[in-house]
Amino acid sequence: MGRSQTLSRARCLFAGVAHPASASVLLLLVLFASSLHAQDAGSAATEFFGRGAAITVLVHDPSGHPLSAPAVVKLFHNAMPAAQAQTSNGTAELVATDLGDFTVVVEAAGYATTQKEISINSNGREEVEVYLQALSANTAAAPGRPLLAPKAKKAVDEGFAALTSNNLDKAQKHAAEALGLAPGHPDVLYLQGLIFLKLRDWAKAQEMLEKATQVDPSDANAFGALGMALCNAGRYEAATAPLEKALQLKPVAAWDTRWALAKAYYGQARYDQALAMSQAALSSSNGKAPEIELLVAQSLTAVGRYEDAAGELRKFLREHSDRREADTARRWLDGLAANGKIQAR
């Protein structure tokens, strides 16, 4: 019986009845009809009970296409197994019966085991994409880093050039073209991630850059950009691993990677590491980002080196009094003096 038929019958049975008890019976019938409708509809809400979510895992091969071979997808919650399924045409359906942080692990013959951290904050349906990396024995069938066709490469190169020129509109246009030609290529994903970083859309930047690092786990630039996106979102602990990975892959990484890692350390109260990394970032920036000096001062303050911190702040004010960060430097310097940490001058 459909919902409308049940409601219609209920109305006929109780037409003209005003007794409170009869009204309560009618309410029960209406609720029963609603439950029948939900069961018939087969909506996501009926696929699991209590708190949780239905999770669709999309597994891609290194070229970005759905994985044709079967793969086992496992879900872990607080390091405990939560669900498991096998892919069909690159797709697996899982059910999480709770909310929180989860780890998705994908295993497939010929590919490196890949895992991805996800957070489920609301009931409903979640979609997760995972890109596998071929093992060396399987490189003939699925090369680890696909080549870009000339037209796609031209679009990517022009996109990076536009970003360098701060022409965001032009960069987005070329990125859209490249995405249509080679949606799963790491260079295309990296370009998209950088554009989202420019737009301050940290979540989308993270999504694109995670895909880029999964397709090409040797790309130091993509790991560095991913860490920056996480750091900018205030996810300091999550940002640390990709930033450290970027430095491991490329020890002479750009100063901005070291600056982001220093901020991530500071955000976790790892002040000694924050001090060392911020000093390294300031030195390697060659004057391109003098505001790093404020993070050096913060870190010096955090480890109790107040006079040294004051010296950094005074140096910044002498050399960069016209920058907008100068007001912050003065306020911190006044605060150190007011709290008796340094001698007022």
- Give the pLDDT confidence score for residue 223 in this predicted structure: 96
Reply yes or no on whether the pLDDT at 244 is more than 70.
yes
| Mean pLDDT, rounded, for 229-245 | 96
Reply yes or no on whether the pLDDT at 6 is more than 90.
no
Task: Take residue 231 and report the two structure tokens written for it.
Answer: 């750091």
Reply yes or no on whether the pLDDT at 37 is more than 60.
no
Q: Which residues pair with 72 in a beta bridge?
A: 86, 107
Amino acid identity, position 244: E
- Give the pLDDT confidence score for residue 31 in this predicted structure: 35
Least confident of 29-33, 73-77, 274-278, 318-322: 29-33
Instruction: Say if CB 184 and CB 64 are below 8 A apart.
Output: yes
| pLDDT tens per residue, range 47-67 | 443 567 889 999 988 767 888
Reply yes or no on whether the pLDDT at 118 is more than 90.
no
Least confident of 135-139, 148-152, 171-175, 314-318: 135-139
| pLDDT tens per residue, range 249-295 | 988 767 899 999 999 999 999 999 999 999 999 999 988 899 999 99
Reply yes or no on whether the pLDDT at 24 is more than 50.
no
- Give the pLDDT confidence score for residue 51 in this predicted structure: 61
Mean predicted lDDT score pLDDT of the chain: 81
pTM above 0.85, yes or no: no
Reply yes or no on whether the pLDDT at 221 is more than 80.
yes
- Give the pLDDT confidence score for residue 136 in this predicted structure: 52
- Give the pLDDT confidence score for residue 262 in this predicted structure: 97
